[in-house]
Amino acid sequence: MFVHDRYRSAPEPMSGMPPGIPYIVANEAAERYSFYGMRAILVIFMTKFLMNAQGELDLMTDEQAKTWFHGFVAAVYTFPIVGAIISDAFLGKYRTIMTLSVVYCLGHLTLAVDDTRLGLAIGLGLIAIGSGGIKPCVSAHVGDQFGRTNANLLARVFGWFYFAINVGALASILFAEPLLHRFGPSVAFGVPGILMAIATLVFWSGRYKFAHIPPDREGLKRDVFGNGAEGLRALGRLFIIYVFIAMFWALFDQQGSAWVLQASRMDRRFIIDWDPSQAQWLNPALVLLFIPLFNRVIYPVFDRFWPLTPLRKISLGLLLTVPAFLLPAWLEARLDAGESVNIAWQFGAYVLMTAAEILVSITALEFSYTQAPKRMKSLVMGAFFSSVALGNVFAAGVNFFIQNPDGTSKLDGPGYYLFFAGAMAVTAVLFIPVAMRFKERTYIQDEAVVEALP
């Protein structure tokens, strides 16, 4: 029973879907529209629209834009650790999400009203704090709605959760660059801000439907350091996995940077005229198609002959990422040779990369939650997201160091893509023996009585 002055402090015993899930999924769709709608046009904005304080163009080179882009993504995925500590030790997941969502909205507002490098830095900084800080809380909040009686639904709901992410991403990518070219940066960055405000309102509306796991600072300390430092050991085991997954993110997130810049040099007439950033819509669209395909067809077929454990799925995903970057290397060689290359060729790379994403990202998201001690759910989710930060730090670092003083690149043309494909191949091979030796231990929230939060 829900009353206005009380929150449930544990999942309600039930065999069906928890009542708060629709609010979380709807919030995630709107929030992801806001994030990807902004992110999709960042490289185009920095190389085509950026201004100085005098109102003159102050454009970045391709390498500078890629460095800023991956530096921003790295910052977004660094702050989950901070958000996790605030959530698990002080405010709880719900209050942390609400507070940082306001910061998130302010970041969008800054980008909409200031198109200089200073405005870009401040806006991206606020978005990194807000978006990054809520990440582990939202995904862990999903898991907190389940107890042992309906834990079997977790995999399905994390699939829906990822489905919502990609519905929001798909819609935003289709409209972001046309808005930028037709109405300018203020509208193109303002629309995602409005969606973030809607996301915050939707989440607030579900506050009495949620199970609110209270923050427990002392319990967190016990989980981390007690019982022979069981929590630290669990975190350490998982972080070894995350180091390997980081290389996947170093390649995956270049869909928003290197692949956009490559698309700008291609023949973009395929059925319709494509803006350079719009090819990114294929990733979320394919995710929506691949989630049911993998769950209902591919995984069951594999399970008949070779059961796909979470770590086996991740291993296959890492291996599949290699050809996803070899194809752009071949396309880059053709472009450098002066050929006219249709953008449809790049679509094949999106198919390979999205299949790898299904195997790596969705699997790692659920795996991280189930392998995290009960009071460390947000903290472990934060550690998982740090793998994205680590991968983007690597990508940003590479792009920073390959810049020559004359504006050229030390890794020009196909060599750039071959470098990352080679690094991914080495990572995938080294991961296999690590995965074979990993020992799993699953933790799920227990049911308890309804309690009031202070």
Give pLDDT tens digits for 50-88.
999 888 888 998 888 988 998 998 999 889 888 888 888
Alpha helix stretches (DSSP H) within 19-61: 21-39, 42-48
Contact 432, 244 (CB under 8 A): no
Q: Which two tokens stand for residue 352?
A: 């390979």
Q: How far apart are CA 331 and CA 346, in angstroms?
A: 8
- C-alpha 286/C-alpha 265 separation (Å) is 24
What is the per-residue pLDDT across 154-209, written as a single tens digit (0 to 9) for each? 777 877 777 788 788 888 888 888 899 899 999 999 999 999 999 999 999 888 88
Q: What's the CATH code of the domain at 426? A: 1.20.1250.20
Q: Tell me if 204 is assigned to some domain.
A: yes
Tokens, residue 205: 């509306």
Give the Cβ contact number of residue 437 at 10 Å. 8
* pLDDT per residue as tens digits for the range 200-240: 999 998 888 888 888 877 766 776 666 656 677 778 888 89
pLDDT above 50 (res 448): no
Instruction: Give domain status of residue 181, yes or no.
Output: yes
Q: Which DSSP symbol is given to 273?
A: E
269-281 residues labelled b (16+ CB within 10 A) or e (exposed): eeeeebbbbbbbb
> Does residue 450 lie in a domain region?
no
For residue 451, being part of any structural domain is answered with no
Q: Is the pTM of this model over 0.85?
A: no
pLDDT of residue 404: 81
pLDDT of residue 454: 31
Q: For the chain, what is the domain count?
A: 1
- Judge whether 288 lies within some domain: yes
CA angle 135, 358, 254 (to 5 degrees): 70
DSSP output for 220-259 = HHHHHHHHHHHHHHHHHHHHHHHHHHHHHHHHHGGGGTHH
Whether 335 is in a domain gets the answer yes
452 inside domain: no
Residue 5 included in any domain = no
In terms of residue numbers, what domain contains 381? 21-437
Residue range 321-365, pLDDT digits in tens: 999 999 999 999 999 999 998 999 999 999 999 999 999 998 888
